[in-house]
Amino acid sequence: MTADIDSVKELIVERAKELYSRGLFSTSGGNISARIHDTIVMTPRRASEGGWKINVQDLAVCDLEGNIIESGRGPSIDLDLHLAAYNTLPAKGAIHSHHPLPSAFAFAGVPLVAQEGGEWRGLDKIPLIPYAPPGSTELVAHLTEGFRQLRERFEKHGYGIVLMKKHGAFIVGRDVDFAIRAYDRLLEASLLVVLQKIIQL
């Protein structure tokens, strides 16, 4: 079990740095977590500041109720959002991002409707939840409702995405790498919709 958690910690550090180096995480926020058994491993608060220079000792570890097992650099303000994902869906990986492409839809309050077909399976109806301040119980409640709407599609496709109004995106997957693949699809779908609109002007 300890060895399992250690390897998940290494995976989270590695993937967080990869997301940053690929420009999918910035220095302005974002977080990534994984579930192993009934334990959650998550990037710490202010992980983005300074360019994601985190190591395994910095990570927070808790149970599904949020009881801290290892605080590392202290759990992120978004820990409750990740717990909502794991308590609502059979997810094993979760990513929260402020990337401007999907966030543009979230800020504009425009639902992102990607065309079905090919690689876009399951991206046709992405829930857009109402705004609530970061760290608030309202935001957890809204996101939980978004995850509930995803349940059927998550079981079918292994991933799910919720857009958070005036905030960003939340992506869950059957494992961390599946969540990253879903994040890639989200970015491509967002860019495709924007470019289509520009071409059609």
Which residues are at the interface with Zn ion (CB under 5 A)?
A: 29, 168
Residue 118 CB, shortest distance to Zn ion, in Å, is 30
Q: Which is nearer to Zn ion, 44 or 168 (CB)?
A: 168
Residue 96 CB, shortest distance to Zn ion, in Å, is 6
Residue 82 CB, shortest distance to Zn ion, in Å, is 11
Burial of residue 96 (CB within 10 Å: 0-12, 13-18, 19+) is buried
| Pairing outcome for strands 159-164 and 128-129 | parallel
Residue 182 CB, shortest distance to Zn ion, in Å, is 17
Q: Which is nearer to Zn ion, 66 or 135 (CB)?
A: 135
b or e along 104-115 (b: 16 or more beta carbons within 10 Å of the residue's beta carbon)? Answer: ebbbeeeebebe
Burial of residue 53 (CB within 10 Å: 0-12, 13-18, 19+) is exposed
Q: Which is nearer to Zn ion, 6 or 49 (CB)?
A: 49
Q: Which is nearer to Zn ion, 47 or 89 (CB)?
A: 47
